[in-house]
Structure 1
Amino acid sequence: MTETRWLDEREMAAWTGFLQASNRVARHLEHQLKEDAGLSHPQYEILVWLSAAPDGEIRMTELAERLITSKSGLTYQVGQLEKRGLVRRRSCPTDVRGVLAVLTPEGRQVLEEAAPGHVAAVRESLIDVLDRDELAVIAEALGRVGSRLGG
């Protein structure tokens, strides 16, 4: 059995700082989206991905991969968006087993209305707290972490 490599003081500070900051930013953004748009953060991300896709539609399996979520988790969130008329599902014309998530005009409108407040909250909670050099280091470092874990 290999010996455990415990975290030293600097490593522990990095780890706890990451946990605290990421959890607080996530909570702040979740609260802002709920208050301003009645959306969860995953629902907002779904609308963003769909709005950027050709014809506003993406296969559900591909959308789950982009969101880094389970298919069942995505199905639930899309179902909630469907109830509000923001997204609809339709069969994939090229694959009988495939299902597409499709952004509705109402969904695009809700996203356009929610985006300015969301961007302001992202700036308030993260971007404007850091200088340009810190942003570059964080982007590079977290990109490396994501790549190592499959991103």
Structure 2
Amino acid sequence: MSKGPWLDGDEQKVWRSYLLMRKTLETHLERHLQREFGLSKSDFEILVNLSESESGRMRAFELSRSTQWEKSRLSHHLTRMEKRGLIRKEACDARYPEIVITDEGLRAIRDSAPAQAARVREFFVDVFGPERFAVLGEAADEVVAAIEKHCDTDCSLVDRS
């Protein structure tokens, strides 16, 4: 499908439509999380990861890997979440503490997740319908695989030392 470095008019239109859709959806979902539950999308992402782990705890590097956040961003955000009582840091055998979801954090994710899922269904899943949604899932997996292959082979952003 590649025709060179520049996108043609149709490709540019689809790309920009995708960007607008993603930004509009994320902004709308985050506004609901903030207004209804006092959570940012970043809070929600951390709480989802912790609540889905078997023990309700993860090492910071695991959270960083699953969220794809830089170390400093994760550290600052975890400090803010700890001050609000959503997580706590617990010393362990390793050099860095484990991040643990608190009862308050569990309550926050249990309260907010159903509303978040309902909105994702309403504004994303149901809009696509089953057939187009399945195709989107396949395409998304292919995009991620292409990026992973690029990172494994010739990406200048990956430190190979």
TM-score by structure 2 length?
0.85
Q: Which runs of 5+ in 1 are unaligned?
A: none
Query: What does residue 47 of structure 1 align with?
Result: 47
SS in 1 for 2:85: coil
CA contact (8 A) 1:56 1:102 kept: yes
SS in 1 for 2:148: coil
Instruction: Describe how 1:104-119 pairs up with structure 2 within 5 A.
Output: 104-119=102-117
Root mean square deviation, CA, Å: 1.7
1:67-115 deviation line (CA, Å, top 9, x unaligned) = 111111111221121111110011232x2x2221100111101110111
Query: What does residue 16 of structure 1 align with?
Result: 16
SS in 1 for 2:89: strand
Pairing 1:58–2:58 present: yes
CA contact (8 A) 1:92 1:99 kept: yes
The alpha carbon displacement at 1:124 in A equals 2.2
SS in 2 for 1:131: helix
Q: Partners of 1:21 and 1:64 in 2: how far apart?
A: 26
**Greater RCO structure (CA 8 Å; 6+ sep):** 1
Query: What does residue 72 of structure 1 align with?
Result: 72
Q: Partners of 2:138 and 2:115 in 1: how far apart?
A: 26
The alpha carbon displacement at 1:142 in A equals 1.2
TM-score by structure 1 length?
0.90
- The one-letter amino acid paired with 1:83 is K
- What is the aligned residue count? 147
- The one-letter amino acid paired with 1:58 is M
Deviating above 4 A after TM superposition, structure 1's stretches of 4 or more consecutive aligned residues are: none
Q: Partners of 1:92 and 1:141 in 2: how far apart?
A: 40
Q: Which runs of 5+ in 2 are unaligned?
A: 150-161
Q: Partners of 2:54 and 2:92 in 1: how far apart?
A: 14
